[in-house]
Structure 1
Amino acid sequence: MTELEADALTVLMHRIGLPPERRNADKLAEAERRLRGPLAVLQAHLQAQAQRGWPYLAAERFTIADLCVASVANWSRPSLELMHAFPRVHDWVQRCHARPAYQALKAAARS
């Protein structure tokens, strides 16, 4: 999680969070470049877990590890290039956010 946090937040802000005139293409490109390392590690781990039939980081069930890492990895989703390069990460983040508890939280926040 800590390996992703700063650069994933930069991606989020410079892709969609900031007004277009405040976005910095150089900061964005550098953050996306640096994210490739930790996302590659996460991708490899998720691949190994999938070979065991386990859809989550620690095993077959959702844990606090998934909650923490997916919440930060989600910030990098506005980078379609990264999501295409790391499809297991993308699928896993979507799976974590599709959980009923997360959907209920989103619905409650909108109310």
Structure 2
Amino acid sequence: MTECEKDALAFLMHRIMMPADRRKPQLADDAERHLLTPLRVLDQHLQGRPYLAGERFTAADICVASVLAWVQGAASLMAQCPRVDEWLKRCLSRPAYRTVRLLAKSA
């Protein structure tokens, strides 16, 4: 999580959240490039495992998925790490996560 947070936030801010005139596309590009290394490690780790700790969804999945959710729109990055992409979709499709997102939108 800590290996990805800074770059995931830079991607989110400079691709999605900031007003277009304040975005710096180069910062988002750099963030995607930097994220590839830890995501490849995670992708390898997920080989044969549905979750970070194996068969069970744990707090580790919640922590890491909460950060990587910021880069789920980085299609080219996720395409290079298909197990991470599948894992993230699995985490974000859980009913509790969907409920939290609905509550956040209505607040």
TM-score (norm 2): 0.92
Check conservation: 1:15, 1:79, Cα contact below 8 A: no
Where does 1:38-57 land on structure 2 (aligned, <5 Å)?
38-47=38-47, 50=48, 54-57=49-52
Q: How does 1:82-93 map to 2 (within 5 A)?
A: 82-93=77-88
Alpha-carbon RMSD? 1.2
Output the TM-score relative to the length of structure 1.
Answer: 0.89
| DSSP 3-state at the match of 2:53 | coil
The correspondence of residues 70-89 of structure 1 with structure 2, limited to 5 A, is: 70-89=65-84
Deviation at 1:110, TM superposition (A): 3.4
The match for 2:57 among 62, 65, 86 is 62
- Calculate percent identity across the aligned residue pairs: 53
How many residue pairs get aligned? The number is: 106
Regions of 4+ moved over 3 Å: none
Specify the alignment match of 1:98 in structure 2. Answer: 93
**Unaligned stretches of 5+ in structure 2?**
none
Q: Matches of 1:102 and 1:69 in 2, distance apart? A: 13
Please state how far the C-alpha of 1:43 moved relative to its aligned partner.
0.5
Secondary structure of 1:5's aligned partner: helix
- Separation of aligned partners in 2, 1:58 and 1:19: 38
Structure 1 residues without counterparts, runs of 5 or longer: none
